[in-house]
Amino acid sequence: MSWHERRFLGAVLIIALIGLTGCQLRPLYAGGAVASAPQASLPAIDVEPPQGRTEQVYRNALLFGLRGGGDGAPARYAMVYRMTVRSQEIAVERGTGTPNAYQLTGGISFLLKDATSGESIFGASVTAVDTYTRSSQLYANIRAERDAEDRLATTLAELTQARLAAYFATL
């Protein structure tokens, strides 16, 4: 490489670095005044009561993620949600044709509202998938399905929390 080519390449690199200095990348949960919106807003979300066991697991995981295990701030936002969980056979035993592996597909559609006015602020949907296998033991099958539902609900809560944090980070 000649001297002129090196000089040209160096100039291009410097221009690219100067261009990147204008980017606004920052950690989502970083401290400081710039990124304080998610940290201040997430604990102030009141999540509606659950309708079933899987929704209770979802709600508990979400509240823990939003509040860090502590008490929440006074509610400035209310969140309503609808959960769907669908089970599908994905494998069968070779000899008997009995299903032995299942896939759970879950979805959450949620809407964040202002707690005082009831005005809709932000809405989104998240989906996740989990699998489990069945055996010839009844209790093991019940436990495997329940554990898969719990993992699915926890994953949906983490995805919901990430969507909410991303929303508040853009304010």
Mean pLDDT across 44-62: 96
Asked whether the predicted pLDDT for residue 74 surpasses 50, the reply is yes
- In percent, the amount of the chain with pLDDT more than 70 equals 84
Cβ-count burial 42-74 (b if 16+ within 10 Å, e if not)? bbbbbbeebeeebbebbbebbbebbeeeeeebe
Q: Which two tokens stand for residue 80?
A: 């309503």
Burial of 144 (0-12, 13-18, 19+ CB in 10 A): middle
Asked whether the predicted pLDDT for residue 134 surpasses 70, the reply is yes
Q: Using alpha carbons, select from 89, 88, 110 the residue that is nearest to residue 98.
A: 89
| CATH architecture for residues 35-169 | 2-Layer Sandwich (3.30)
Q: Where along the chain do its domains lie?
A: 35-169
The pTM assigned to this predicted structure is 0.78
User: For position 136, what pLDDT does the model report?
Assistant: 85
Query: Quick one: which H or E segment has residue 44?
Result: none
Confidence of residue 8 (pLDDT cuts 50, 70, 90): confident
User: For position 1, what pLDDT does the model report?
Assistant: 61
